[in-house]
Amino acid sequence: MKRVLDLAVAVPAMLLVLPLMIVLAILIKLTSPGPVLYWSCRIGRNNCRFRMPKFRSMRIHAPQLATHLLEQPEQWLTPIGSFLRRSSLDELPQLWCVITGSMSLVGPRPALFNQHDLIAMRTRAGVHELLPGITGWAQVNGRDDLPIPVKVAFDREYRERQGLGMDLQILFLTGVRVLGQRGIRH
């Protein structure tokens, strides 16, 4: 059922936002050198690596670290990078990962390959068995404001309570949080 929901939402959403994605790609290209998309090595279901696209919001020589680990992350943002992140528009290319099956609309956000503490905690909590999502229970409950152990606790709670109703609730709350730009630091 979850896969059906993913495809029923992601395919039309991708078609609907395609014109916006083209405009964003042009703006990225016009405002900073480098590729339009940033392909990040992420940890997915069962701790397997996969490549996840995002609209590039950081300069091409930025360190490959989670933003919260960077000193002065603002210095690495492109001219429209802050807008892309605050609006969460940098996440739109991940609809492709939902369509291809490496991600779901809802699930724990995929960890960077070098976030060893997060990966270890999720593995101990059994969260690594879930398909990662574009949004998740931790994201609608604090996103960047949450320390890693709290994020993992929310991810574990999602694992225990997951279902169509909870996924629909998370998708709704994601829209509310993104529009309100709540819990977004950079």
| pLDDT for the residue 58 | 86
* Number of neighbours of residue 61 by Cβ within 10 angstroms: 7
Q: Give me 7's structure tokens.
A: 């495809």
Alpha carbons 14 and 77: distance in angstroms, whole number: 25
What is the pTM (predicted TM-score) of this model?
A: 0.86
What ranges do the domains of the chain cover?
2-180
Determine how β-strand 111-112 pairs with β-strand 49-55.
unpaired
pLDDT tens digit at each of 186 positions of the chain = 899 999 999 999 999 999 999 999 999 999 999 999 999 999 999 999 999 999 998 888 766 666 666 666 676 788 899 899 888 999 999 999 999 999 999 999 999 998 999 999 999 999 999 999 999 999 999 877 899 999 999 999 999 999 999 999 999 999 888 877 655 554
Three-state DSSP state, 72: coil
Q: Give me 178's structure tokens.
A: 């993104």
DSSP letter (8 states) at residue 80: T
Three-state DSSP state, 32: coil
